[in-house]
Structure 1
Amino acid sequence: MTELSPSANVGDIASTLPGAAEIFRQNGISFCCGGKLSLAEAAAGQGLDVAPLLDALRALEAGAARTAPEETLPLIDHILTRYHATHRTELDWLIPLAEKVEMVHGDHDEAPLGLAEALVALRDELESHMAKEEQVLFPMMRQGGHPMIRHPIGAMRHEHDTTTDLLRGIEHATHGLALPEGACRSWTALYTGLEKFTGDVVAHIHLENTVLFPRFEIAA
């Protein structure tokens, strides 16, 4: 998790803190094309005071894991049902919808060109990642851990970074999920679904990186 401060990178915050992306959107801050800026620089660019932004982000950070079960085994079950199953279900309709919008509106200046391809790449990465958790890591955790568990956890953390990079590609292809004026219902539904989906992926990564994994890394 990126440490929250005025010098923190906007793109890193958006891709690691659940809900941060929406706060940035509400304040007109780009975290795809302008994601290399510090929070202070991005706020200044919009004529904003950085302090209220930091307060809002810190409030998100404090509440990020509150909806998840506290005990480890129920937490694993929660990740499987709330995130693994949900990601699969949503990608099944987001990808064909992205293909439709690209095909119908490909000549529009703000068309999300390359979005379907980016979603397919993300689906493939997530499917491989989630299968490893389901078949290897989570069974080890259910048995109480293992002296070597830090190795698969390290691999999962590395793959989380890859997923984060793919999320940035989706943000870029959709111009920050900014709908053009007069967007059709399909385009609107696509971006509404993507906002929820990408937020879920960030929350999923955050929950594992900051809550679940450390419990076993300390014991290993």
Structure 2
Amino acid sequence: MLNLVIGGVAACWMGCGPMETVPDIRSASAAGDKIAEAEENASPPIVRAARRQIEETTIYDPAYVRLKYPGGDVPRERGVCTDVVIRALREGAGMDLQKLVHEDMNRAFNQYPAIWGLKKPDPNIDHRRVPNLIAFFKRQGFMVDGGKDKANYLPGDVVTCLVGNRPHIMIVSDKTAEDGTPQIIHNIGSGVKEEAVLLSFKLTGHFRVKGSGFNGP
């Protein structure tokens, strides 16, 4: 006797009654995809733009690269921690940090860290350095006094820290760890990842982007 599955119901070819219902795996998978898509669309734009990089940026590469200006970027499959933030704010908030940081450094070069021996702004690299982004965000009035209270960290916030003695930057996710601590999206050495490590490092700055305009003196 030949059995067929028709419309999710097992039936025999010889005309016997319907047998056990078989789950429609394709329908369940499609429904799951729709739920995941709806949840992702509910995330703030900055978080969505950061999360998209998880599958795209898989290489940590700190090489100096000559970029077009404005809107310049290193190859999408590579980058450093700052590139996660640059791309997320550009795509999620319409904020081109390359252009904004360069313009602000032209206005107030002496207000930025004198760490690299530069005598004038360099639009290829300035916005890709954590200390410069800290200075820029402070000058824009984006600083938040979040402390170590996890409730103060909102999705899309930008957080800076020290990993050992090296500056690092990351974006707060809308996903949380089991204890309620927000996860973060960052590239710390092996591509962009979403991890529960927000309070694992010494925090040095907490910023909340309010707009894309220039607010500095």
Same fold at TM > 0.5: no
Q: Which structure would you say has the larger RCO, counting Cα contacts within 8 Å and 6 or more residues apart?
A: 1
* TM value normalised by structure 2: 0.25
* TM value normalised by structure 1: 0.25
Higher strand content, 1 or 2: 2
